[in-house]
Amino acid sequence: MHVPSTAPPPATAAPLFGPFTVGSLALENRIVMAPMTRELSPGGVPGPEVAAYYARRARNGVGLIITEGAAIGHPSSERRAAVPRIHGADALAGWTRVTQAVHAAGGRIAAQLMHVGLDPLLWGMTPAEMDAASPAGFELLSPSGVDPSQPAAATVGREMSDVDISSVIDAYARAAAEARQAGFDAIELHAAHGYLIDQFFWAVTNRRKDRYGGDLSARTRFGADVVRACRHAVGEDFPIFLRFSQWKVGHYAARLADSPDELAAVLGPLVQAGVDAFHCSTRRFWQPEF
């Protein structure tokens, strides 16, 4: 029989159990539950099972819970029917039940906002298969129409126009405001793993010739514009986190930056735009990045 240890944590782990404050968010400890897609939301609406799932984590002492990715209100943001969305009265009512359950259990919770871009291609689906499985109005949008799983292949979907970019940024801002109204304590922007914002970051998938493509600073502009719009929507004291990664789904050796200076060139504009903290996603946590 396993008997839990009553020994105090080692000194190196002690900060994990101390309080942490960022903006209006005060946490009892620094243990954060990372987002994990559950696909438990038929029609994109989180129901009682989702509320109970997150409340159980809060009751067991997690300092901050970050939800699975929730699709913003744009027809190109997500194709899977059981992935939650964060737009529409039914979905927002469901998320309100989630935040109330987590708060009643003593926890804090952030909503992860996402747009998948061409990410479905990384899971082995062809554009034709996605068309057959996708809701009406779904359209493949990305910075340059480059399939992340086959960068040398012909373009797929449609390269985003200026109008597309503006409408997606607006959808992020609406989602941020609605997340706050639904009772979330913070938001996290999913800019990792080859999703849309990451597709703008990465030179392999961003071959644009306009102000959103080119050097590292230009490729960061779309993400910074999203952050800036969300910051305007939620106010100055509401925490905004951003998740980023070197690796991509199906491309574990991919690199967003090859040096600390290059990484600073990516992250600096995001901080200036309003990011309060970064969620750094890594696979080989035992190896230094540089």
DSSP-assigned states of every residue in 17-62: GS-EEETTEEESS--EEPP------GGG---HHHHHHHHHHHHTT-
Buried b (16+ CB within 10 A) or exposed e, 252-270: eebbbbeeeeebebbbebb
Q: What angle do CA 265, 161, 153 make, to 5 degrees?
A: 80
Report the distance separating Cα 279 and Cα 235, nearest Å: 21
Its sign, for the CA torsion 157, 161, 167, 169, is positive
Collapsing DSSP states into helix, strand and coil, what is residue 175? Answer: helix
Q: Is 53 a catalytic site residue? A: no
Q: How far apart are the first and last CA of the chain?
A: 43
Evaluate whether 23 touches 276 at the Cβ level (below 8 Å). Answer: yes
- Beta strand 186-193 with 240-248 is parallel
Catalytic residue among 54, 172, 195, 212: 195
Contacts of 216 (CB under 8 A, 6+ apart): 257, 262, 265, 266
Report the distance separating Cα 121 and Cα 108, nearest Å: 34
Evaluate whether 110 touches 98 at the Cβ level (below 8 Å). Answer: no
Instruction: Tell me the catalytic residues.
Output: 195
